[in-house]
Each structure stands twice: as C-alpha cells, then as structure tokens.
Structure 1
C-alpha cells in the first residue's frame, strides 16, 4: 500500500455506483481465498516440527494449539521465539540448529496451505475493475505478513490486516474497525466473506458488516471446530460478484 493511501476514502466511482451495492469487500484468507486443507495435513505439519526439535508430538501439538491465541497476536514473538518457548515448557533442550531446521519446515508447510481457490484472482480483479475496494483480515502468525507481498492476491488487496501485526484477533470488533479505517468506509458499506473460523462471521455482523460464509470446496472440511452460522452461504468466490452487484 502506498504511503498515505491507508484510510483514504476511495469509494465506488460514479461509473459503477449504479451496479454495485457495497463499497468494499473484506475477505478472510485461510479457507476463504485459499483452498481448504484437511485437518490431517495440519496435524502432520506440526508433528514434523515437533520431531525436528525432538519433542513428543502429542504433547507438543497440545501446547502449540493451546498457545494459538497468544501466538497469533504476537504475544509470544515470531515463530522461532514461540517454538523455543514451547520447547522450554515441555522440557525439551532444543539446539539452535534444531530450531532453525524446524523454522524452515514451518515456513515450507505454511506455504503449502496458501494454494488459492481457482477463482480467487479473477474475483478480486473484477471487484477492482468495478472500483469496489478490498481488505483482508487474517488470524495468523508471522509467516503470512512476512511473505504477503509474494502472493498473487496481494496487489488486489489494498488493506491487509493481520492479527500478528495488529495485536488483535477475530472476533474482536477492533480488528474489523481497523479494516474499515484503512479502507475509509463505514462497516455498513462492507461485505465480509469468510469460512467461519474464529467466530468471524458473528464478529463481522456485530461490527456492522454484512457477512456471508464461503463453504469448503469438495469434501474437505478443514475446520477443527464447528461453525455456528445460520446466515447466507456461498460455494465459490465468484458468487461474491453476484452479491456485490445490484439486481
């Protein structure tokens, strides 16, 4: 984002105002812009990290997931620092070499979970062609913001908000407010699209946005926890265009 661009009210140009009903769309990232990954893949990835530092996998996974709320808001530092912290809690004397190897495994694993839905880029491109602004809110650790600019979707998303750098996570209303502030639009002018993790759909609704859940593709169900949502649902990102365009 260019310096000074954040918070500048752009809005929909008069050329497209008659065909769109929202000023902006706010997307979740994992499971929304990306293809859902089965829980088994997540378990395998974190097990590989545990084995790299010589930690018992089951105990490591338990503590790793218990600390998610702290890790995703940066309270435990970057991955290497958080990993050393968890190893210490488990009494595992991980060496610097082991921690470095585990960090590389982690980054490689995280990249494998960023495969985009096939209609992600085309949907974002069309929204921008319509002058509909775009933001992102993602609960994540340091890997995503560190490598954000390398992703194909990054140029289309003017306001990316990451829990790790914002020090807030969904469904805290302040993280939705950050996206709106960055876009320069009111919540009522935003459509939020997410798969439902972190209670984000209820959070977006409470923040004043219109929320819609996007379902997992095919038979993969990647959420560890159930999603409590009785509102509107879509099956593909291209359906966002139908929701944004006026009838």
Structure 2
C-alpha cells in the first residue's frame, strides 16, 4: 500500500532530553518552589492530561492550581522563576537536531510524501519549535494543547490526517511510544512504528507489538518496500 504521509512524535523521537544518560538541561522545580520533590512529582504528574490538552492554558495556571489544592501559600516570583527555567530547559533541546533525522525527513519529502508532527505538549515546551531546523520541513504541525486533545485519543490522529488530506491507512506514525501513542495510532488506522534510537534498552524492551526502528533511515527502507 502506497504511503502518502509520515507523522512523527516530537520528544524522544525528533529531539531528546538526554545526553550520555543525563538530562541536557536539568533543574529542580520542587526546590525552587519550596515543595517536597515527591509531592511536586505527584501533583504535577496527575495534571498531565490537563496540561497536554490545554485545560491549563500555561504552566503558571497549573502551578497555582497545585498550591491552591494543597492549601499552601506560594510566591509568584518563585513560580515565574520555575517557568523561566523550564522554558530554558526545553529550548536547549531544539538547538542541535540530529543530522540523521533531518536528512531522513528531507529524503521522505523528496519521495513526494508529506510529513507531519503530532506532539503532546504544553505551550512552554515548544516555544523554540519555530526557530528550529525542523520547523520548515513539516507540512502540518499538531500540538495537543492547541487542538484540545492529546494522544492516544483517535481525534488527534484524525485531525493530522485531515490536515494533509490523507487516509490513516496511507500513513505511518513514528514515535517512542510514550502516552500509549503507538496503540492510539494503530487504533486510528495508521501504521505505527517504534522509534528506539534515543531509548535505553530497559525502556525499549517494555514496548512490544510494533516494529522497532533502530535508526531514522530505517523509515526510508520501509517506504521503499511500500512504494
């Protein structure tokens, strides 16, 4: 079956937070906020869905909601500092895109196949997208907070396919598997593939049921066999 579009996940597929088993830009928001780390992780984590689907319009509204629910006083200067640090940490990831990824996308487009992005993200996480070397290569960009739905919801894949006027069955989805995105893509009718090039083995092995891609150029091999 001829492929007419390839959709990519963003984090840990096109860009990565990790380098040599350490975060490229790490900071401790709980310390800056004067909150115990386990409490911060719990409260931040349980608001993930609402951060991704735009229910919280930004990180500030999410952090304020956390403090209000905990009935704990807070300092807005501290919240603003955390947001500033978070924006800086996310921006770093867009500064050096792997050349193998860029080359693969360019070759996909040279095959007259459209390229799209489907990313679960909050606004502050993708502020540098437009300044990155990736931005001009994509025919459609779907950020979950903008469309008010997130992977693995079928709707977000449908929106992406409609934007490019392609059927799901004529489309590939490439992702690291976070947010159950591969199952979501498959259930929406796309051909889903597991991108493992940024993943350590212990995570790679947890995700099963989908063909694994060891390097970006493996996508080109698949497209040639389906051409």
Show the counterpart of 1:76. Answer: 56
Cα distance between partner residues in 2 of 1:152 and 1:234: 22
* Cα gap change, 1:227 to 1:154, in 2 (>3 Å): farther
Q: Give matches, 1:17-36, under 5 Å.
A: 21-35=2-16
Show the counterpart of 1:237. Answer: 216
Show the counterpart of 1:101. Answer: 81
Cα distance between partner residues in 2 of 1:164 and 1:110: 16
Q: 2:91, 2:127 within 8 Å by CA — same for their partners in 1?
A: no
- Is the aligned partner of 1:159 residue 2:178? no
Q: Which runs of 5+ in 1 are unaligned?
A: 1-19
Cα distance between partner residues in 2 of 1:59 and 1:218: 27
* Cα gap change, 1:122 to 1:216, in 2 (>3 Å): closer
Show the counterpart of 1:137. Answer: 118
Provide the aligned C-alpha RMSD in A.
2.5
Residue 145 of structure 1, CA deviation: 4.2
Show the counterpart of 1:13. Answer: none
Q: TM-score, normalised by structure 2?
A: 0.88
Q: 1:137, 1:160 within 8 Å by CA — same for their partners in 2?
A: yes
Residue 221 of structure 1, CA deviation: 5.6
2:32 to 34, 37, 52: 52
Q: Give matches, 1:1-247, under 5 Å.
A: 21-35=2-16, 37=18, 41=23, 45=27, 48-114=28-94, 116-217=97-198, 219=200, 227-246=206-225
Q: 2:17, 2:23 within 8 Å by CA — same for their partners in 1?
A: no
Residue 90 of structure 1, CA deviation: 2.8
Output one character per residue of 1:188-217: Cα deviation in whole Å (capped at 9) or x when no partner. 110111111111111111111111111143
Q: 1:196, 1:227 within 8 Å by CA — same for their partners in 2?
A: no
Cα distance between partner residues in 2 of 1:37 and 1:134: 25
Output one character per residue of 1:43-89: Cα deviation in whole Å (capped at 9) or x when no partner. x54xx112222222221111101110111111122011111111222
Q: 2:91, 2:126 within 8 Å by CA — same for their partners in 1?
A: no
Cα distance between partner residues in 2 of 1:173 and 1:63: 27
Residue 157 of structure 1, CA deviation: 0.9
Cα distance between partner residues in 2 of 1:191 and 1:161: 15
Q: Which runs of 5+ in 2 are unaligned?
A: none
